[in-house]
Chains A and B, each alone.
Chain A
Amino acid sequence: MSTDVVVKIEKVTKVFPRGNVIALQDIDLALVPGEFVSLIGPSGCGKSTLLRIVGDLIEPTSGTVTVNGKPARRARLDHDYGIVFQDAVLFDWRTVSKNIAVPLELLGWSREKRKQRVEEMLELVELAGFADHHPWQLSGGMQQRVSIARALAFEPALLLMDEPFGALDEMTRERLNLELLSIWQQLGSTVVFVTHSISEAVFLSTRVVVMSPRPGRIAGIVDIDLPAQRSVETREDPRYFELVTQVRELLRKRGEHLLPEEEAQLLETAE
């Protein structure tokens, strides 16, 4: 792992004029290549906002974001990242293959190359037989896999994910966690992963960034020193539990601002 920094967030502040909400205040964060970083925190801590700022979908009020050594806007225009949202945002009027091909079409790839890459992606997310299906014919989990395949289609070095598995049931979620880990290791990309779930954050990441709300700040960062190869057994590893507890404590401590419901929700997902 090189020591180049792939994403540098410096003193980023975001204030939403309506209601004078300070969504983020003086955020500093640096990601090295190949990292898997989770952003976790209660509602209103700004994690999704931060993700969007990195993706140049929202502009920060002050501060800078550098991706691959370029300003965030340049990085977006250069297609340096892929993004996955909580709902799959697939186009109903296209088949699964055509949906995955959208970014490739925009990048001007030839039909040959597109076809080949789409097939590779389908293999990767294990949806090879569904190339000609339409989104409504797939389950929620399958739609998300298509969404991930689409995000990775042009092999971006950076992957931004905004609670991609939030709308799925626990079992599908755990399965997709494993798939995502395997894909991440195969491709060696850097991942920024927003989640509500402590267990998911610890299971997937190399680092967990805990954020607190009002104003949005980084409460603390937990290094996850679990082995690189993770599996179902990892969830029973005592070290895993220790780390989960560590994250939970951090959330609690800096969560004096947390409303009872928010805290309960966070603690629930750690089970």
Chain B
Amino acid sequence: MTARAAGDRFVEWAPAIAVFVLGIALWEGAIAAFHIQQFLLPRPSDIGKTFWTSRHLLWPAGWYTFKEALGGFVIGSSLGVVCATIVARFEAIGTALMPVAIAASAIPIIAFAPIFDVWLNPLSPTSKMAIAGVLCFLPVLVNTLRGLQSASPRQIELMRSYAAGEVEIWRRVRVPTALPYLFTALKVASVLAMIGAVVGEYFGGAFNALGVLIRSDAQILDFRTAWAGILVASLLGLSLYGGVVLLERVVVRWAPENRGS
């Protein structure tokens, strides 16, 4: 990385870091100054301490839940891509299906969590994976489909002038055009997956799952550990999101956001 690029990166991130530092400082200060009930909103330093001291409990639980989220993310997104490809191939189904898919994404899927628990043992990670998967499936389907349908007519004309067949047009035009859309959806899905797994566990799950832990900690009013658990969940969700962003930088190098030089 050149000095200039490093400098640019710094300028980009400095405000966010400043806000973080300020925010934490304010938080600590406000709690001390206003004697806010610590049991409800602990000091960041306390949360940090608990994050570390309870790590044998929290971190494995986080990993357990993360695996559910990851599994759901991968399966749900893959299904979404496959279905989008099938639907795009047969245009008639596409136009009929779009409004349904969009309406389906208006359904609060999380409400179906208990039913997934009934079907797939609530104590097994599969039930949470299923919820996470369904949550990921819809945005990926809708966005990928839109991407596959958005190749410019001129590009298609160009390919026809080369006597290119459907397969070639798909390979060389439709798929690359759809990639940015796919990644937008994956970013959304990555966050939803983790949330879906944690919330799904609220309805019932293995004792070593993060969602269950957070819930029981809150119930016994051990908010310090609950917040530390939330921190774990949040960090894991962010890391999945970050992973997708990094992958996007590599795969979709031509997208306006990723244009370097």
Contact yes or no, B254 A92, CB < 8 A = yes
- Among B161, B176, B254, B261, max chain A CB count under 10 A is at B161
With A76-B161, A79-B163 already in contact, the answer to whether A85 and B154 are too (CB < 8 A) is: yes
CB of A89 within 8 A of CB of B160, answer no
Interface residues of A in 69-119 (CB under 8 A from B): 76-79, 81-83, 85, 87, 89, 91-93, 102-103, 105-106
Chain A residues contacting B163 (CB-CB under 8 Å) are 76-79, 106
Question: Once the chains bind, are B161 and A57 in contact (CB under 8 Å)?
Answer: yes
Judging by beta carbons under 8 Å apart, are B155 and A89 in contact?
Answer: yes
B173's nearest neighbour on chain A, judged by CB, is A91
Is A136 part of the binding interface, using a Cβ–Cβ cutoff of 8 Å? yes
Q: Which of the residues B162, B176, B253, B259 comes within 8 Å of A103, measured between beta carbons?
A: B162
**Is the pair A134, B254 in contact by a Cβ cutoff of 8 Å?**
yes
**B157 contacts A by Cβ under 8 Å:** yes
B157, B158, B254: residue with the most chain A Cβ atoms closer than 10 Å: B158
B160: A residues at CB distance < 8 A: 57, 76
The residues in B between 178 and 222 inclusive whose CB is less than 8 angstroms from any CB of A are 179
Distance in Å from the Cβ of B236 to the closest Cβ of chain A?
32
Number of interface residues of A (CB under 8 A): 22
A102 proximity list for chain B (CB < 8 A)? 162, 172
Give the residues in chain B near A105, CB-CB below 8 Å: 172
- In the complex, the chain A residue whose C-beta lies closest to that of B160 is A57
Q: Across the two chains, which residue of chain A brings its CB closest to B158?
A: A89
- Identify A89's interface contact among B154, B164, B172, CB under 8 A: B154
Q: Which residues of A contact B253 (CB under 8 A)?
A: 93
Chain A residues, Cβ within 8 Å of B254: 92-93, 134, 136
A137 at the interface (CB under 8 A from B): yes
- Whether B91 sits at the interface, judged by CB under 8 Å, is no
B residues 145-164 touching A (CB-CB < 8 Å) = 152, 154-155, 157-158, 160-164
In the assembled complex, A255 has its CB within 8 A of some CB on chain B: no
Asked whether A55 is an interface residue with its Cβ less than 8 Å from the other chain, the reply is yes
Measured in the bound complex, the distance between the Cα atoms of B210 and A98 in whole Å is: 48
Q: Does B166 contact A (CB under 8 A)?
A: no
Docked Cα-Cα span, A134 to B255, in Å, equals: 11
With A77-B163, A83-B161, A102-B172 in contact, do A91 and B155 touch (Cβ < 8 Å)? yes
Q: Is B8 interfacial (CB 8 A cutoff)? A: no
- Look across to chain A and name the residue whose beta carbon is closest to the beta carbon of B155: A89
- Judging by beta carbons under 8 Å apart, are B158 and A83 in contact? yes
Q: Across the interface, which residues of A come within 8 angstroms of B157, CB to CB?
A: 57, 85
Q: A85 to B168, Cβ gap below 8 A? A: no
Q: Of A76, A78, A85, which is within 8 A of B158 by CB?
A: A85
Give the nearest-CB partner of A95 in chain B. Answer: B254
Report the separation of the CA atoms of residues A106 and B163 in the bound assembly, to the nearest whole angstrom. Answer: 9
In the complex the two chains form, what is the Cα distance from A87 to B157 in whole Å? 13
Q: Complex: how many Å from CA A83 to CA B154? A: 11
Inter-chain CA distance A126–B168, complex, in Å, is 30
Q: Using Cβ atoms and an 8 Å threshold, which residues of chain B touch A78?
A: 163
State whether A106 touches B164 (Cβ < 8 A): yes
A271–B68 Cα distance when bound, in Å, is 71
**In the complex, chain A residues whose CB is within 8 Å of the CB of B172:** 91, 102, 105
Q: Most chain-B CB neighbours within 10 Å: which of A55, A81, A83, A93?
A: A93
Whether the Cβ atoms of A91 and B154 lie closer than 8 Å is no
Once bound together, how far apart are the Cα atoms of A83 and B161, in whole Å?
A: 7
Contact of B261 among A57, A82, A137 (CB under 8 A): A137
CA–CA, A57 and B156, complex, Å = 10
B173 touches A136 (CB 8 A): no
CA distance A91 to B154 in the complex (A): 11
Question: Which residues of the other chain, A, contact B173 by a CB distance below 8 angstroms?
Answer: 91
Contact of B152 among A55, A89, A93, A137 (CB under 8 A): A89
Do A136 and B259 touch (CB < 8 A)? yes
Q: How far is the CB of A119 from chain B (nearest CB, A)?
A: 21
The 7 sampled A-B contact pairs (Cβ below 8 Å) are A76-B161, A79-B162, A82-B161, A85-B158, A87-B154, A93-B179, A106-B162
List the interface of chain B (C-beta within 8 A of A).
152, 154-155, 157-158, 160-164, 168, 172-173, 176, 179, 252-254, 259, 261
Q: Which 3 A-B pairs have the closest CB atoms?
A: A92-B254, A93-B176, A77-B163
What 7 new A-B contacts, CB under 8 Å, besides A79-B163, A102-B172? Answer: A57-B157, A78-B163, A82-B161, A87-B154, A89-B152, A93-B252, A106-B162
